Amino acid sequence: MPVPKPALLYGTNREKKFIEIICLKIHGAIDKGLKYHRQYGDELFVRFEDARLRTWFANKSTEALQGAGSIKRDCSIWEDFLSEHKIHFASIAPRIGITKLPANKFQKITGWAESTNNHARDAAMLIFGY
């Protein structure tokens, strides 16, 4: 099973709205993070789901565990990148919550009408309301 691409979303806290919700490979996501860091400077704040903070586990296949290891590696890369560039961030523990929303329900909850995929909607719901 392929590891999902990072879902990125950018928004402004003052306006409580998303600017962009996209999925990219990790190098593209990091490039996008640098772009927003140049644009917003110290106002930029990044939240990412940190699989290393997961406290609940189910019986998983070897393939699923390998994917989990890859995701944990990506979390370390994000933490290193954000720290090195002095970008404010918080890592969020994975949680069971509102996920796998169909696009129409996601739009009703968030007001976001542009196209998204499941990974992007799940990521957006992690931070919606902050």
**Residue position matching structure tokens 């099973």:** 1
Task: Report if residue 37 sits inside a domain.
Answer: yes
**Residue position matching structure tokens 């902050």:** 130
Structure tokens at 108: 């009703």
Task: Report if residue 39 sits inside a domain.
Answer: yes
Q: How do 88-92 and 45-49 pair as beta strands?
A: parallel
- Find the domain containing 62 and state its range: 7-127
Task: Report if residue 112 sits inside a domain.
Answer: yes
- CA 35 to CA 21: how far, in whole Å? 15
Over residues 102-114, the mean pLDDT reads 93
* Other beta carbons less than 10 A from residue 33's beta carbon: 22
Task: Report if residue 98 sits inside a domain.
Answer: yes
Task: Report if residue 1 sits inside a domain.
Answer: no
Over residues 61-86, the mean pLDDT reads 79
In the chain, the number of structural domains is: 1
Lowest mean pLDDT among 44-53, 64-73, 113-122: 64-73
- CA 2 to CA 35: how far, in whole Å? 27
pLDDT at site 1: 38
Does residue 89 carry a pLDDT above 90? yes
Does residue 67 carry a pLDDT above 80? no
Residue-wise pLDDT tens digits, 14-51: 666 788 888 888 999 999 999 999 998 998 888 888 88
User: Residues 29, 6: contact at Cβ < 8 Å?
Assistant: yes
Best CA proximity match to 128, nearest among 107, 115, 40 = 107
pLDDT at site 106: 93
Structure tokens at 113: 């009408």
Does residue 11 carry a pLDDT above 60? no
Model-level pTM greater than 0.85? Answer: no
- CA 22 to CA 5: how far, in whole Å? 10
Task: Report if residue 67 sits inside a domain.
Answer: yes
Task: Report if residue 64 sits inside a domain.
Answer: yes
Mean pLDDT across the chain? 80
pLDDT at site 13: 57
